[in-house]
Structure 1
Amino acid sequence: MAELRLLPKCAEEFASAAYWERFFRGRGERAFEWYGEWEELRPTLGRYLRLRDSILVVGCGNSELSEQLYDVGYQDIANVDISEAVITQMRERSARIRPKMSYLVMDVLQMDFPDERFQVVLDKGTLDALLTDQEEAALSRARRMFSEVGRVLQFGGRYVCVSLAQAHVLKAAVDYFFQEGWMIRIHQLSSNRGDASKGKFALPIFVYVMTRIRHVPGSALHILELCAEKQDKPVRFNSIEHLIEAVKERQQYALLRSQLNKTSSSGSISLDLCNKDTGQARYLLHVVHNLAVKVSRDNQFAIFIIPQGRETEWLFGTEEGRKQLAASAGFRRLVTVALHRDQHYEGMEAIQAELSEKVMELAPPDLSAHQQVPFLSVGGDIGIRTIQHRDTSTLSGEYVVEDVKGDDAHYFRRLIFLSNRNVVQSEARLAPRTPHKGEMKGNKKHKKKKKEKAASGDPVKLTTLPDNQSIDKSYLCCAHHRVMVAGLCLLKNPECLPEALIRVLVIGLGGGSLPLFIHDYFLQSCIDVVEIDPAVLDVATCWFGFSPGDRLKVHIADGLVYISSLAAKAPNTYDAIMFDVDSKDTALGMSCPPAAFVEETFLQKVRTLLKTEGIFILNLVCRDSILRDEVMAIIRKTFPLLYARRIEGEVNEILFCQQQTRQKPTSVDLRGTAKILEKALRQPGRAWDSTYVLSDILEAVKLV
């Protein structure tokens, strides 16, 4: 209990002289060590301390570090602390056996030493204690301390600070000494796997080495470096932000390792690994535990590299999918590795070499150091991804249009909003057109040049997409779009639909594949598409082959406002209304549609717009089971006839809602109707995707 009473009431007390006086009087002669002893710090500190150096230890407390330094030969050491009690104690302890050691009561914010007195100022935890937060009072204390450190150091002298490198502490130190033109190098101290479980810090310990160098007029040279553990050669950064981000990444990695060594749950943990040169995210790691696997020597740990472009698939892009992947792979702990866009990768072997040491730190603590860990993947290569267009929408933020190679010979074009980078907003299959003779010759010459370069040993980038492709409008990439189109079978006289005059309202354009397919295959259909974001229309037109016309019109408007306005003016207008609109609020358990689109008063307006035998088709993406049940109850109040079709391997659920209470068709009736419609759609001379079988899709529809 006495130990507990020594703890401060608040963090600010760490900067108080009265607190430390009380602390050391209460603690007695037992040494209080922050962040390790000499033997642990020696590999790093020894690089910057010379036996002949005059060393100032600031905020020495009753740490044994100075005594240990003295005993191994560093004898020109002065120690200062704000606590008179601890200075008296340390003088008495060393007076006889360390006669050249000096201990002085002194405030590091205002020291009595002359200018340029020391070659080294050594700080173990004092800066962390002074800079308790990022308020101006604490930052002012830190700047006064830095100023005093700079004053008492000679040119070529080093401020060596052992710290936890909390974000505000690191930024304050780096900002100050960068502005002063000092050389900045940060070391991460080596740690053994599992240290945190033995009572040590889960966060890694860092050592700042700030070297005072003479400023050369006209020189803009700034040196910012990081030495990660087990890495002798420092990595140089071109900005403070990149250096700080790299330290943060090391801290997150250490916390992850600590959490992994303690966890017994089957949940997953994720982390970004950054490019060591730029600080940009390079790999996204997910660590998945599969406690159901019986552990053997060969199935404890594996790494799974996800090919580019496939990280959005359910199996790789969701926690549920990754759990299934780990179970099917049969490993107790599986690390999935997704490759970030905007990063260049040479190939699978290069990625394995780059990841080997870092990912091994995530291995179970009892894994043998000599155990070979398998790298797994799909198809044996890293896939192909090429960004075709990048821009920013004022409504949706930054987005990219990219082409990726599928798991077969086809390529696909995708629209992805980077605010939710694991979700494909829209997708279309690319159809290669037949090249002209001149193009054929050009391609042969191009391939010949590639072979010649490969033979000469020069690097060859082979991950380029064919540039002679157009959009395959007959193919619906998104499974939920296929189901939504199949739901039109529930309209009256489906065999007549391809030639019937039907009106369809689609809320949410995306790449335009859904309304374009309806336009092309339901030849008399008139389609209104409502899209709130004009940037999306530009993308659909320029990159996804979408083209408005007399029967296909786009309205740039808020879907809520458009439907509310139209319901008052033109009831009973549409045969089908489709919602395929996502929510920008990622905090909700429902990502599609936004909550306002399934409120009862709004759904009444949707019903008003529908013809009596019309159908309302909703793409529902809801991970919250309670919220889903609430939504279903609201829809059922408005539409008595409700069918649901879940998308296998995805969260999407397509709801077919009708207001009429005619005799409910059976699954056999639905399949028969679907066959009739499909036969009507598959006309000679019109392209049709042979994998799109409407009757199979409707077989899984259930009455809710």
Structure 2
Amino acid sequence: MGRKKKQQQKLPEQNNLFRTFADLKNKTNWDQFFKIRCTADYFEWYADWPQLQSLLTHHLSSLPVLLPESAVDAPPSVQPADLNILVPGCGNSKLSEHLYDAGFKQITNVDFSKVVITEMSRRNTVERPEMKWQVMDITVMPFGDKTFDAIIDKGGLDALMVPELGCTPGNQYISKVKRILTHRRKYICLTLGESHVPDLLFSMFRFGWKMSLYTISNEPSSENRNLRTTFMVVVEKDNGVSVPMISSFMDKYSVESHGTQAHGFYKAFEREQKFRSELYTLKDLNLGNLTDFEPGRTVKLILGDKGPRFYKGILVDAEEQSATIPQQFAVFVVPSTRVDDWFFSSEEGLMRFAAYLKAARSLIILLDSSNFYASMELIEMDLTHLVRQLVLGCCGFEFQITFMTANEVLKDQVIVHQVTSGLTGTIVVDEVVYLKDQGRNDDDDLNCKIEDVVFRRLTFERTHGVVQSKALLSSEAKENKMQSEALLSSEVEEKKVQTPSKTKKKGQKRKPGSSSGRASSDEGKVDHNYLAHTYHNIIISGLMLISPRLKGSSSTGAMVETVVIGLGAGLLPMFMKNWLPTLNIEVVEVDPVVLDVAQKYFGFTEDGRLRVRIADGLQFVREKADSEAVCVVVHAEGESSCSKLDILIVDVDSPELSSGLTCPSADFVEESFLQNAKNSLSEEGLFVINVVFHSPTVKVAIHSSLKKVFGKSLLFLQLLEHDSHEVIFALKNESPITEEDISTACDNLEKSLEVVNHKWTQRVVKASKLIRPLR
């Protein structure tokens, strides 16, 4: 009893050691954890030995893993005691002791905690004298090549995959695993399969490896109360020239009954399996007629060999070859955060994107966990000789190949905060510095070089890397960042965090996904007088240009009732509050976690003119539309006014990219919602909606619904050359608006803004001149 009471008294202290993912990478925390528990209190993070024994010993003893490189050299038999086994990140688990007692004597255990290695070595010296214990960082592991016959990883990779650090530590570790495994031997990974672990495993062991997946039955002991599913991933070296399919022995019922964590792993497996089923190598294709143009053809490829890096690619021939197409061949590199975009994950999207590239043949390279950190120079070096084999025959061997990539190229990125919401999913706040002129609006005037400017961004992981909000940090924030950078440098040196050698040489940036450990909301002050997103400036322009209530309020002083559906980082409503003083603004946001992030990391504040309501936007508008008969006395003279909206703005993302929409979700462009939106407006009310669509069919349908509801009062501004992003304005009164009306209004707006004398007015005036009637 006394021992149990003593343990209970210590639990709060040990639980406080791992408050964040980053704490799992802290050596001091682990030393303290093992000191608190003491070695006698062994700890199994995942499944216990009774659940692992049969499957694990089978894989260690099975014939394939014991096959020699040459049949001539085969010994009569290989016993378990002859296998050289490594257990990285061993902790104080009894796994190695059970293996030793089962006959596997040559076991080397490594962990970066000196405390646990010392205690475990002391505990096993007498009973298990052949077992070895070493203090070691598993991302380094300076063993010789082909040293171990088997590597058994029980949670080691999981501990490295800290969201704030991205995939870099995991990449370093898996690279060492590949190097130190002997020919035809196995890496056995026990994992919960969370975060980016499955994607990393599937991509790093895609070419030249066989893979099998298992679920481990969950029967926790008194020491292991973890009810999450444990997966066993068994990887074996393979000499095949093609990309093998993954062998799954997973219990699907067990997966489905264990919630989001297990389901996420299974979905990652299904995505990988589908991709492998459609994948070809250049050898598989034997090039065939690939040098000939074939209209509308798409071929999924894997480029590279069994080296450290290989690449997924999609070859796309345009729907027709025309003399007006400016180039014959183009290569476009897609960052790992964008590969699930509709453009790159659907056949229609691929064809549209190929049309934007204006090339007869396009090769689209999709980066993943195995190569996301590679620079463009390195990617070109890896791929140029392979890509040349895919150039159309009419181009000739001397054809100059150009590699292109997405516009927003980062010079530096730091994860400031990451949180998971039950409604929105994973929410990421980062700070970035763009390369050269990337990230800047065409009409920006920041009075400094873009590479000296820090932006803080809000991203919803469900939208696959689409930046939801982007804020400029003030010069005060920049000074804080520089001080933080200096502090970071000393911390990195002290903790000996490993970084890619190319980054070390340049010494000028951390790779995307790295973290400075800064999570304080006070270290960066957001500039609420600057709107970094072009479409936000367009919304402001439209409000000032079109809204009769807003234009009239400047002379009457009457408040303009305004509702914004969707908060994001709160940058648009904060700007509206600062510069449009007659607006009475209410933001409707469904997720309280989003509000918390906006307040803590983007300086969003509520006051008498700006409030937030946590509610469903669709339901709010429906209720506002139905409140037509409800009026309240608002003037001393006894005049009454109905509770209608003067301005309604819809600025939300879409969680379902398969709908062909990035913004908003499909519910917000259905005719029923549009009618509710119109009914919620006052007689001179203005409706504004931000729309990003990828399918021409979806675009036509949305325009048709808008025209049916709002008639001829529609205006729009097309943001992008390929017409996939529009901001649409609609007046309730359905009065037709002509080009001449817009021109006159633009002139009046420009004159009225001359007295403001602020940079944002230039962007607003420029945007106003691009607004056109939607016919």
- TM-score class, shorter: 0.5 to 0.7
Q: Kindly tell me: are residues 670 and 379 of structure 1, through their superposed partners in 2, closer, same or farther at Cα, counting changes over 3 Å?
A: closer
| Pairing 1:615–2:686 present | yes
C-alpha separation in 1, matches of 2:341 and 2:71: 53
Select 1:536's aligned residue among 585, 594, 601.
594
The answer to whether the 8 A contact 1:641-1:660 is kept is no
Structure 2 equivalent of residue 492 of structure 1: 548
Alignment pair present for 1:50 and 2:72: yes
SS in 2 for 1:587: helix
Number of the residue aligned with 2:654: 583
Question: Partner residue of 1:225?
Answer: 237
Taking structure 1 as reference, are residues 504 and 455 closer, same or farther at Cα in structure 2, changes over 3 Å only?
A: closer
Task: Provide the secondary structure at the position in 2 that maps to 1:518.
Answer: helix
- Alpha-carbon distance in 1 for matches of 2:312, 2:680: 46
Please show how residues 564-579 of structure 1 align to structure 2 within 5 Å. 564-569=622-627, 570=630, 571-579=642-650
Distance 2:573 2:422 in 1: 24
Of 501, 504, 508, the residue aligned with 2:559 is 501
> Any residues of structure 2 matched to 1:93-112 within 5 Å, and which?
none
The one of 295, 312, 337 equivalent to 1:265 is 295
Deviations 1:508-532 (CA, angstroms, capped at 9, x unpaired): 1122222222111111311111111
The separation in 2 between residues aligned to 1:471 and 1:46, in whole angstroms, is: 62
Structure 1 517/284 Cα, relative in aligned 2: closer, same or farther at 3 Å? Answer: farther
* Partners of 1:308 and 1:384 within 8 A in 2: no
Of 629, 637, 647, 2:719 maps to: 647
**Match of residue 555 from structure 1:** 613
Alignment of 1:420 with 2:442, yes or no, is no
Taking a change above 3 Å as real, the CA distance of residues 278 and 554 of structure 1, as seen in their structure-2 partners, is farther
Q: 1:185/1:426 Cα in 2 relative to 1: closer, same or farther (>3 Å)?
A: closer
Letter in 1 for 2:728: L
Q: State the distance in 1 between where 2:500 and 2:658 align.
A: 50
Give the TM-score taking structure 1 as reference length. Answer: 0.55
Alpha-carbon contact 1:185-1:209 (below 8 Å) kept: no
Shift of 1:561: 1.4
2:674 aligned residue (580, 603, 610) = 603
Q: Quote the offset at 1:503 in angstroms.
A: 1.2
> Alpha-carbon deviations, 1:567-599, whole Å to 9, x = none?
334554211011122332333234433333344
C-alpha distance in structure 2 between counterparts of 1:438 and 1:541, whole Å:
20
Distance 1:423 1:454 in 2: 26
Contact between 2:207 and 2:242, CA under 8 Å: does it hold in 1? no
Secondary structure of 1:611's partner?
Answer: strand
Tell me, in whole angstroms, the C-alpha distance in 2 between the residues paired with 1:209 and 1:577: 53
Report Cα offsets for 1:519-560 as digits up to 9, x if no partner. 111113111111112222223223333222221111111112
Cα offset for 1:613?
0.8
What amino acid is aligned across from residue 392 of structure 1 in structure 2?
A: T
Residues 270, 500 of structure 1: CA spacing in aligned structure 2 closer, same or farther, 3 A cutoff?
Answer: farther
Deviation sequence 1:27-53 (CA, Å, 0-9, x none): xxxxxxxxxxxxxxxxxx995443999
SS at match of 2:593: helix
Aligned-residue CA RMSD (Å): 5.6
Uncovered stretches (5+) of structure 2, i.e. residues with no partner: 1-66, 77-148, 150-183, 189-205, 213-231, 244-248, 251-264, 438-449, 494-498, 631-641
Relative to 1, partners in 2 of residues 1:382 and 1:275: Cα closer, same or farther, differing over 3 Å?
farther
Q: Following the alignment from structure 1 to structure 2, what is the Cα–Cα distance between the partners of residues 556 and 696?
A: 32
CA–CA distance in structure 2, aligned partners of residues 413 and 341 of structure 1: 24
- Asked whether the equivalents of residues 667 and 701 of structure 1 are also in contact (C-alpha less than 8 Å), the reply is yes
Alpha-carbon distance, 1:361 to partner: 6.6
CA distance in 2, matches of 1:395, 1:377: 32
Contact 1:185–1:226 (CA<8 Å) still a contact in 2? Answer: no
Partner of 1:659: 732
Which residue of 2 is the match for residue 388 of structure 1?
416
Q: Which moved more, 1:541-550 or 1:318-327?
A: 318-327
| Counterpart secondary structure, 1:621 | strand
CA contact (8 A) 2:331 2:364 kept: yes
Does the Cα contact within 8 Å between 1:184 and 1:223 map onto a contact in 2? yes
| 1:507 CA displacement | 1.0
Task: State the match for 1:254 in structure 2.
Answer: 280
Within 2, Cα distance between the matches of 1:626 and 1:520?
A: 39
Q: Determine whether 1:701 maps to 2:759.
A: no
SS at match of 1:287: strand
CA distance in 1, matches of 2:488, 2:210: 55
Residues 691 and 360 of structure 1, relative CA distance in 2, 3 Å threshold: farther
Q: Tell me by how many angstroms 1:615 deviates.
A: 0.9
CA distance in 2, matches of 1:477, 1:459: 33
Amino acid at match of 1:667: E
* CA displacement 1:342-386 (0-9 Å, x = unmatched): 976363333334445665675568998998755456899874333
Bigger CA radius of gyration: 1
| CA distance in 1: counterparts of 2:211 and 2:731, whole angstroms | 71
**2:582 alignment partner, one of 484, 506, 524:** 524
Structure 2 contact 341–464 (Cα < 8 Å) conserved: no
Does structure 2 retain, via aligned residues, the 8 Å contact 1:224–1:243? no
Cα distance in 2 between the residues matched to 1:209 and 1:437? 47
Deviations 1:12-71 (A, max 9, x none): xxxxxxxxxxxxxxxxxxxxxxxxxxxxxxxxx9954439999xxxxxxxxxxxxxxxxx
Q: Which amino acid aligns with 2:563?
A: L
Structure 1 residue 504, shift from structure 2 partner: 0.5
Output the amino acid matched with 2:414: T
Taking the aligned partners of 1:590 and 1:689, their CA distance within structure 2 comes to 29
Instruction: Report the Cα offset of residue 641 of structure 1.
Output: 3.9
Cα 1:248/1:365, change in 2 over 3 Å: farther
2:354 is matched with which residue: 323, 331, 349? 323
How far residue 413 of structure 1 moved from its aligned partner, in angstroms, is 3.2
Alignment of 1:182-201 (within 5 A): 183-184=185-186
* CA separation of 1:595 and 1:222: change in aligned 2, threshold 3 A: closer
* Percent of matched pairs sharing the same residue: 25
- The amino acid of 1:651's aligned partner reads S
User: What is the match of residue 426 of structure 2?
Assistant: 398
Shift of 1:627: 4.4
1:462 paired with 2:508, answer yes
Query: Partners in 2 of 1:384 and 1:438 — Cα distance?
Result: 12
| Counterparts of 1:438 and 1:371, CA distance in 2 | 45
Q: Report the CA distance shift for 1:618/1:251 in structure 2 as closer, same or farther (over 3 A).
A: closer
The 1:634/1:245 distance shift into structure 2, 3 A limit, reads closer
Change (3 A) 1:270 1:689: farther
Measure, in 2, the Cα distance between the counterparts of 1:666 and 1:538. Answer: 43
Question: Given the superposition, is the C-alpha separation of residues 436 and 701 from structure 1 closer, same or farther in structure 2, using an over 3 Å criterion?
Answer: closer
* Range moving further from structure 2, 573-582 or 303-312: 303-312
User: Contact conserved, 2:653 with 2:664, CA < 8 A, in 1?
Assistant: yes
Measure the CA separation in 1 of the matches of 2:657 and 2:415. Answer: 25
| Equivalent position amino acid for 1:673 in 2 | A
How big is each residue's C-alpha offset from its partner over 1:407-439, in whole Å with a ceiling of 9 and x where there is no partner? 421443333333331533222333433766997
The one-letter amino acid of 2:455's match is F
How many matched pairs? 491
Verify the 8 A CA contact 1:641 1:659 in the aligned structure 2. Answer: no
